[in-house]
Amino acid sequence: MAFDKMELRDIEVWDGNFAAAQALRQCQIDVVAAYPITPSTPIVEGYAKFLADGYVEGEFVMVESEHAAMSGCIGASAAGGRVATATSSQGYALMVETLYQASGMRLPIILNVVNRALASPLNVNGDHSDMYLGRDSGWIQLNAYCPQDAYDLNFIAFKVAENHEVRLPCMVHQDGFMTSHTAQGVKTLTDDAAYGFVGDFKAMNDMLDFEHPVTHGVQTEEDWHFEHKARQHSDLMTKVMPKIQDAFDAFEKLSGRKYNIVEKYDIDDADVCVVCMGTSVETAREVATEMRAKGIKAGVVGLRVIRPFPFFEIQEALKGVKAIATLDRSSPNGAPGMLFNEVAGCLFNLDKRPLLSGKIYGLGGRDLTKKHLVDLYTELQANVDAGKVTTQLQQFIGVRGPKLSFL
Amino acid sequence: MANTGWDEFEIGAMLRTFEGSVDNIAGTLQEDRNYTQNSSFSANVSDWRIIKPVFNKDYCIDCQFCWIYCPDISIIARDKKMVGVDMDHCKGCGICVEVCPTNPKSLLMFDEHIDEEVALAGWPTKEGKK
């Protein structure tokens, strides 16, 4: 069966969802098993339309739940296909059991996650609760800040995940609505250049290799389980980052667009810095530049790779900064916050430790305004001047009512 | 195997059925297949069984009902002739006895410890019409 190529302009006006759908088309996904959910629906809808219109040679499997969607992806990937799907929030939560299956079975499935809050109360808008829910599931997690990133990182994801030294599933995260439904200029690759970058799918241990029959998804108990998990963790810790870097380098050569494991902005001489993810990175960069005009040496560190966690890259980026705030867009529900904890872990053994505080913001799609960030950088500078954290360690930003802070 | 480390096996929760590659496996008898020790064919699970089927070829008409119905592929047939039961894998469910159409039956269940000769010696005779 043949398929048609699509003529794209050099720059198209796409939102994050359509950018991801176009990337799936250009990677020629064999199987998408999906149960659409807001705000990620247009990704799988887009693939289905490309398929129906003859632009993809593949299969769209409509299933009865997100659990079944990922299960279908697992089956198709074990059979030896290039496989992807998309989800958000409650659907992601329902997928969690199968996320662990996919990574333990070492199946290079790509999951586009359009980040959205988790009920209750029910909410369709963007925060990072779903993204945080899957952070121990053994997947690689890449983080987009805008539609361009959502497009580009899909190619990176396939390139890394399908590498036979890696063979781990990969999520591409984008912020619900702020990225997924905000149309921006997206620089495109031609169909040939995009497919050439990811290459033909190279099967490994596939069930359709009848000369080498294989059983996938076996059971192990105390005799073998630990070794399998250790192997998976070891590969995440040692093999994935170099392959991501290789993919970033190759992608820069192809497109001119440079991605980094940790995205540093004005960090080399910074006194104060925020560490954040998603669309907030772009807002923080804009405010950091404005703070410099006011004499505060502000910088931004954005995570491009969430898992595996870039421990040494973060440590290196932050070691000269005097006061740092982490921005967690998910309720830690009884803890300091994921970014706070991870960054604290990176910094703890340094001889000279920066001052660290954590912020909780943006839950359920609440805006992070420039004023919030101006106040935050000002507060961080006050910490530098005082030589200590002048506030409680954990503060909520943008919540109505009396000031909320802990620790 | 017991001392194999975390870095010494193929990645993924997967196991191979055969050593090396296979060709025309459907046309190869089980005893001629190069099963790995990971294949369930290599595992003796006869201790799961507390009662066992005994085959009496004197009454068998090779109808193959037992071969079709056995849920564990434990009826051994060659050239459409019933040969016996794979006692390494039979779980003693008794379905083969249930579906056997001969009179008397060609397969009957006995306690696991009963000798085959004793079982055959005490085989029931043909039941008359009631």
CATH of the domain at B85: 3.30.70.20
ipTM score above 0.90: no
B77 lies in the same domain as B110: yes
pLDDT digits (tens, 9 = 90+) for A73-91: 999 999 999 999 999 999 9
A231 vs B: CB within 8 A: yes
Instruction: Examine the pLDDT at B1 and tell me if it is beyond 60.
Output: no
Percent with pLDDT over 90 in chain A: 98
Same domain (yes/no): B37, B51:
no
Residues A144-169: tens digit of each pLDDT: 999 999 999 999 999 999 999 999 99
Q: Are residues B71 and B108 in the same domain?
A: yes
B128 has pLDDT over 90 = no
Percent of chain A surpassing pLDDT 70: 100
Question: What is the span of the domain harbouring residue B52?
Answer: 46-121
Alpha-carbon torsion (A76, A78, A81, A83), positive or negative:
positive
Whether the per-residue pLDDT at A247 is higher than 80: the answer is yes
Taking CA atoms, B14 is separated from A131, A161, A222, B29, in Å, by 28, 18, 17, 24
B63 domain-assigned: yes
Q: What is the percent of chain B where pLDDT is above 70? A: 98
State whether B65 and B99 are in the same domain. Answer: yes
Task: State whether B55 and B103 are in the same domain.
Answer: yes
B60 lies in the same domain as B2: no
> Which residue reads 């209750």 in tokens?
A120
Structure confidence by residue, pLDDT tens digits, A18-48: 999 999 999 999 999 999 999 999 999 999 9
Record the pTM.
0.92
- Per the CB < 8 Å rule, is A227 touching B9? yes
Q: Are B53 and B82 members of one domain?
A: yes
Residue A66's pLDDT is what?
A: 98
| Same domain assignment for residues B102 and B76 | yes
Contact state of B13 with A234 under an 8 Å Cβ cutoff: no
Burial (CB count <10 Å: 0-12, 13-18, 19+), residue A18: buried
Q: Inform me whether the pLDDT recorded for A257 exceeds 80.
A: yes
Band (B2; pLDDT cuts 50, 70, 90): low
Q: Give chain A's mean pLDDT.
A: 97
- Classify residue B28: in a domain, yes or no: yes
In DSSP terms, A11 is beta-bridged to: A187
- Residues B70-111: tens digit of each pLDDT: 999 999 999 999 999 999 999 999 999 999 999 999 999 999
> Mean per-residue pLDDT for A350-378?
97
Assess if residue B128 is contained within a domain.
no
pLDDT band at B30 (very low <50, low <70, confident <90, very high): confident
Cβ pair A238, A109 in contact under 8 A: no
Quick one: B39 and B22 in the same domain?
Answer: yes
Q: Is B51 helix (H, G, I), strand (E, B) or coil?
A: strand
Whether the Cβ atoms of residue A84 and residue A51 lie closer than 8 Å to each other = no
Q: How far is CA A51 from the centre of its chain?
A: 26
B101 plus B79 within the same structural domain: yes
Same domain, B32 and B88: no
* CB contact A161 to B (< 8 Å): no
pLDDT at A125 over 60: yes
In this structure, is residue B127 part of a structural domain? Answer: no
B117 located within any domain = yes
| B66 and B111 inside one domain | yes
**Nearest-neighbour CA in chain A from B25: distance (Å):** 9
Residues of B in contact with A215 (CB under 8 A): 14-17, 38
Q: Taking CA A85 as the corner, what is the angle to CA A130 and CA A111, rounded to the nearest 5 degrees?
A: 45
The domains found in chain A, sorted by start residue, are 11-255 (3.40.50.970), 264-406 (3.40.50.920)
Domain count, chain B: 2
Q: Is A127 exposed, middle or buried (0-12, 13-18, 19+ CB in 10 A)?
A: buried
